[in-house]
Amino acid sequence: MKFQTKMRTVYAILGILTAIVAGYIYYSISMEKIKEREMQNLSISVRQLSQQYDELIQSMKDVSYYLLSDADTLTAITTISTMERSERTERYFLNSEDTILSQENNDYISKKFYRVVFCNDNCEPIANHNMDDRKIRRHLDYKKMPWYERAKDNQDTFTILGMHPDTWGDKDNLKVLSVVKAIQGRNMGYIEVQMSLEDVRNKLQLGDTDLNVCLLDDKGEVIYQNGDVDLDFCRSLLQRDNIPADTFKGSHGARYLAVGEYNVDAGTTVMVYKNSSVIQEDSSYVVYMSFFLIGGMLLFSLLYVTVSTRHLTKPMIRLQEAFQNTSLETLTQSMDLDLKDGNDEFRKMGQVYEDMRSRLHTAIQREKQLSTLQLQTQFDVLQAQVNPHFIYNVLNVISGRGSLNDDEVICDICDELAGMLRYSTDTKEKYATLKAEITYLELYFSLLKYRYKHKLEYTLELDKTVENQILPKLVIQQLVENSINHGFQNISGIMRISVSSYKDESRWYIRVSDNGEGFSPGVKRDLDDKMNQLKEDLADNFQNVEMRIGGMGLLNTFARLYLLNGDDLVFRIQNKEEGGAEIIIGAALK
Q: How far is CA 181 from the centre of its chain?
A: 46
Q: What is the pLDDT of residues 207-255, one digit of tens each?
A: 787 889 999 988 889 999 988 888 888 888 888 789 898 889 887 778 8
Q: CA dist 542 to 364, 539, 553, Å?
A: 11, 6, 20
Contact 270, 263 (CB under 8 A): yes
In a domain, residue 494? The reply is: yes
Is the same domain home to 146 and 191? yes
Residues 476 and 444: their CA atoms lie apart, in Å, by 11
In a domain, residue 174? The reply is: yes
Is the same domain home to 533 and 480? yes
Strand stretches in 302-362, DSSP E? none
Is the same domain home to 410 and 477? no
pLDDT for 37: 85
Phi then psi for residue 168, to 5 deg, are: -85, -35
In a domain, residue 309? The reply is: yes
Is the pLDDT confidence value at 540 over 70? Answer: no
Range in 26-30, 61-65, 155-159 the model is least confident about: 26-30
- Domain end residue (candidates: 296, 321, 346): 321
pLDDT band per the 50, 70, 90 thresholds, residue 452: confident
Is the same domain home to 161 and 268? yes
In a domain, residue 378? The reply is: no
Is the same domain home to 495 and 538? yes
In a domain, residue 390? The reply is: yes
- The answer for residues whose C-beta is within 8 angstroms of residue 65's C-beta and 6 or more apart is none
Is the pLDDT confidence value at 587 over 90? Answer: yes
Count structural domains, the chain. Answer: 4
Residue 441's domain is classified under what CATH number? 3.30.565.10
Is the same domain home to 102 and 237? yes
Residue 85's domain is classified under what CATH number? 3.30.450.20
pLDDT for 334: 65
pLDDT average, residue stretch 35-57: 89
pLDDT band per the 50, 70, 90 thresholds, residue 156: confident
In a domain, residue 380? The reply is: no
Is the same domain home to 243 and 158? yes
Q: What is the pLDDT of residues 261-272, one digit of tens each?
A: 998 877 899 999
In a domain, residue 381? The reply is: no
Long-range CB contact pairs, 409-414, < 8 A, 24+: 409/450, 412/446, 413/447, 413/450
Range in 291-295, 374-378, 434-438 the model is least confident about: 374-378
pLDDT average, residue stretch 95-106: 90
pLDDT for 548: 45
The partner residues of 431 in beta bridges, in order of sequence, read 472
Burial of 432: CB neighbours in 10 Å, binned 0-12, 13-18, 19+:
buried
HSE-CB for 243 with a 13 A CA cutoff: 29
Is the same domain home to 496 and 454? yes
pLDDT for 58: 92
In a domain, residue 377? The reply is: no
Q: What is the pLDDT of residues 339-353, one digit of tens each?
A: 555 556 666 776 777
Q: What is the DSSP letter of 85?
A: P
pLDDT band per the 50, 70, 90 thresholds, residue 559: confident
Q: CA dist 508 to 59, 229, 301, 477, 503, Å?
A: 61, 61, 46, 18, 4
Is the pLDDT confidence value at 485 over 60? Answer: yes
pLDDT average, residue stretch 86-110: 88
Torsion of CA 81, 85, 89, 91, to 10 degrees: 90
pLDDT average, residue stretch 465-473: 91
Is the same domain home to 334 and 310? no
pLDDT for 99: 92
pLDDT for 286: 72
Is the same domain home to 316 and 332? no
Contact 241, 259 (CB under 8 A): no
Q: CA dist 107 to 98, 128, 130, 197, Å?
A: 16, 11, 15, 21
Is the pLDDT confidence value at 118 over 90? Answer: yes
- The residue segments making up the domain with residue 304 are 1-321
Is the same domain home to 421 and 553? no
Is the same domain home to 301 and 333? no
Contact 517, 571 (CB under 8 A): no
Q: Could you report how far apart the first and last alpha carbons of the chain are, in Å?
A: 44
